Structure 1
């Protein structure tokens, strides 16, 4: 029996749309258009297409081996200072300046979210001060500190009644100028996801098992943050970016670089929406031509 023949659409409905152009044009993305373009350009790097799949598998394999051995030899294999210096050297020589800037920016954005919660709740906690503006400032245990800040603010809310404040404090949401050391020549210009896969290896080696587990689990609190932000602002938009990552679900056997990347995007979305609530519109400051 011959397969049925369906009428072919007329020529005028045919199209050859660009995935990247559609993403860039997506009106639901609340980010500044220049930032959206920067993220898209990073995703379009050759390293993201050809090296990331290999780095992702290699990273998970090596991390698994490290975790197994650390159950027998539960100690640091390198100091946190050595890890910082190694990662900064790697970022300076092998990672694109745009990716480095996105990484530095994430620390500032997450600090802004933490401080927004502190300013708008009765949490007995001083605002956090982790706001690196340069690649050099990613040292001094910044990676560990930014995870700890998430735990500290949640613990500070333990005996606090959360409710929408009469007046919402939208201060401290600014992003200072960031120095990704663009003047330095790079041997490679890796995308941020490939870079995260490779940097996760010394990260796992430097942290104890419990510290690594704590760092991985901190990303499960993204949903908690979205709930808190929705309650403070009275805006359920934040809940749309939840993934059902229950904080009571303890599981560190995840694709850490992939989770870190999604975590950074969720923070950017939430931060942009807070700016919209403060200013009345999404912060699309810069008009950008998409190529």
Structure 2
């Protein structure tokens, strides 16, 4: 999404009509990859977000409520994760904008790197099974990508805490963290995304539409678990902040209070926040890694 970054960098400001998106791109108050930020802001500025989203949001949430009634009566009658991911793949390939697809695939990569960073910086913990997700094209979606992402998060927290209890250790501040899992170069080798006239749907609309689809194809328990996983951002954020000793950086975290489950009707919006939280946390880790490398270089010289 380098060309979107250049778009904002070359944008001329009109003092009488300043751009909301331009201002946010230039703002550096929170760590965020410039390429990902440009892609997100460009995608958010689409007309579909402004004019279509209010209607899509209402109908999508109505669909969730109706499906909730259906699932309450027959919670396990439909369990088709493969069909779900084929549907997601078709929607992403033919209807979602290239920027949105870039951000979605990037999210899985960043999430895997963040979990690995935490594992690498907990003393005396080595035997935690990991299932890193590194999708480089949309075909990877068909391999239960979204469902596996949720399972990875839960299993990591459970396995990590069981291992720490067994070894009698805890997550602590690390003076010289191991940043080997964190990629500082944003140029992930994603395959080119389709960019035809039908690829006009922005990320927010896509998530709202996909959420009831997700609910329809999964059991009630699977969807409820996936919805609640969004609030685990606070848990992962606290782990990383403890290692880095910078709890103040959690100010950008929005999916809080994991012990207080929220209605599934808000899942789509919280999923967007989940993506932003992951970007900010990974951006913080990139920032800290570059600072550490710079300090080592200065000491060496």
Q: TM-score of the superposition, structure 2-length normalised?
A: 0.83
Structure 1 match to 2:281: 270
Of 216-225 and 14-23, more deviation after overlay is shown by 14-23
Structure 1 match to 2:216: 205
Structure 2 match to 1:71: 72
Q: Is the 8 A contact 1:31 1:272 kept in 2?
A: yes
1:59 aligns with 2:60: yes
SS in 2 for 1:280: helix
1:97 aligns with 2:98: yes
1:243 Cα deviation from its structure 2 partner: 3.5
- Say what the alpha-carbon RMSD is for the aligned residues: 1.9
1:186 Cα deviation from its structure 2 partner: 4.5
Structure 1 match to 2:148: 145
Say if 1:73 and 1:127 are closer, same or farther in 2 by CA, change over 3 A: closer
Q: Is the 8 A contact 2:79 2:219 kept in 1?
A: no
Q: Is the 8 A contact 1:120 1:169 kept in 2?
A: yes
Q: TM-score of the superposition, structure 1-length normalised?
A: 0.86
Structure 1 match to 2:244: 233
Structure 2 match to 1:47: 48
Whole-angstrom CA distance in 1 between matches of 2:282 and 2:252: 12
Q: String of CA shifts for 1:105-144, please: whole Å, max 9, x gaps.
A: 1111111111111111144413332111111101211111
Deviation beyond 4 Å, 4+ runs, structure 1: none
- Which structure carries more helix by proportion? 2
Say if 1:244 and 1:220 are closer, same or farther in 2 by CA, change over 3 A: closer
1:244 Cα deviation from its structure 2 partner: 6.8
Q: Is the 8 A contact 1:113 1:271 kept in 2?
A: yes
Of 52-61 and 157-166, more deviation after overlay is shown by 157-166
**Where does structure 2 lack aligned partners over 5 or more consecutive residues?**
1-14, 293-301
How do 1:88-237 and structure 2 match up within 5 A?
88-121=89-122, 122-123=124-125, 124-158=127-161, 159=165, 160-174=169-183, 176-182=188-194, 185-237=196-248
Give the number of the structure whose alpha-carbon radius of gyration is greater: 1
